[in-house]
Amino acid sequence: MGDLATSELLLEETPYLKLTTRGRKTGSERNVELWFVFEDGRLLFLAHEDSQWWRNIAQNPKVQVEAGEILFEGIGKLVPERLAHAFQVFRRKYGDNQIERWYGGKRARRKAVEVELGRVLGKRPTRTSTLPQMTI
């Protein structure tokens, strides 16, 4: 298992990750692939207001995050006061054109969600993912 500095470098360079929440009605694990920004030991997401995953976090903040092959535990919360900042750092990471395509127009209704990372839980085998099927 890599050290925290190596894990942080991985998070800074990874374009997307898998977030696992607990369903607020079923209690079952729910997985979603998301674009994100890593900043100051925290992950920042722009959730569509109709998405279910941020509602799951509001009910049960414990999450798992898989980036590359590293698995982390974390605690999530809604951070509406960070919405403008989230858009700013997303633009810095992904570029204006991508942000407009992903989050512009009807897709602009967003909630800022933050996950504070806890300990590294281990490694998972690297899996390939298809970007067109991602939830943003």
pTM here is 0.83
Q: What tens digit of pLDDT does each residue of 30-70 get?
A: 999 999 999 988 999 999 999 999 999 999 999 999 998 88
Instruction: Indicate the fold that domain 4-121 takes in CATH.
Output: Pnp Oxidase; Chain A (2.30.110)
Q: 41: left (phi > 0), else alpha (psi -120 to 50), else beta? A: left
Across 2-18, average pLDDT: 77
Helix (H, G, I), strand (E, B) or coil at 81: helix
Integer-rounded Cα Rg, in Å, for the chain is 14
Q: Residue 109: pLDDT above 70?
A: yes
Domain chopping of the chain, boundaries: 4-121
